[in-house]
Amino acid sequence: MAAVNGSAEPRVRTAPGRLGGVTPRVLVVQHEADDPIHLMGAWMEGVDLAVCRAYDGDDVPTSADGFDGLVVMGGAIGAHDDLKADWLPATRELIRSAARSSVPTLGICLGHQLCAVALGGDIAVNPNGRQLGLLDVGWNAEAVDDELMGGLTGPRRGMHWNDDVVTRLPDGARQLATATTGEVQAARHAPTVWGIQWHPEVDDALVAAWATDGSLPEAEKERVLDDLVRSRRDLDDAWRPLAARFAELVAAAAAR
């Protein structure tokens, strides 16, 4: 992976050794500078994070070999925007490789949509309009016994900022959460591949950077950021267990 000058996030974070001195490795595919793994990465204790900054010239591997987990981050591009982001075909193949190799995979927002299309589903611009701000997660009954989401099915809100949504899940997928307006909020796209439409990794500083695109009226921007600040403790309590459970699944996969 290419070096990045002046990057705020380490390209590799080394965690304390586990599993007899072998620390599980998680590959993070980052599509934009302003959506790093951030809080989710800090909460994934006991794993090494190898960050592939595709937007900055890092080559996205097409195989998950050598990694015990995969996280695919969000971004303003679409899952089919190959002309804008020439690394997307490789990312979709990487997701398919991870699925074939039973590598635990988590797609966040755009990453969720990429998991869907990589494995045979569809996405489209949401006919109900942009999903924005802290929205309730509408857990489905299928989530209760899910290996990753099962411990999270109480009331929770997640930060949404997306125009596209998954319109058809891959064959055999399980829908784990549904928005109040009917959109897929979370899914198990394959036995070891999960996707969530919200952003558990963000704080108000990251979202404030997104809001500089000029697409929000000032009052709406202030509302979203104020809600994030007021809800910080609840959001940490809600999504830290998701990161911890994903790290556990990665460690179990590494031990096999």
Residue of 32, 183, 201, 248 marked active site: 201
Is residue 136 within 8 Å of 178, Cβ to Cβ?
Answer: no
Active site residue 199: yes
3-state secondary structure (DSSP) of residue 185: strand
> Which residue in the block uniquely carries the two structure tokens 């125009």?
163
Helices 218-230 and 232-255, axial angle in degrees (round to 10): 70
Active site residue 201: yes
Active site residue 248: no
Q: How many CA atoms lie within 13 A of 231 on its CB side?
A: 21
Is residue 240 within 8 Å of 41, Cβ to Cβ?
Answer: no
Please, what is the end-to-end C-alpha distance for the chain in angstroms?
27
Residue of 109, 183, 189, 248 marked active site: 109
Q: What is the DSSP string of 142-154?
A: GGTT-TTTGGG-S
Phi/psi at 147 (5° precision): -65, -35
Residue of 31, 38, 112, 199 marked active site: 199
> Which residue in the block uniquely carries the two structure tokens 């591949």?
193
> Which residue in the block uniquely carries the two structure tokens 């830290």?
240
Active site residues: 109, 199, 201
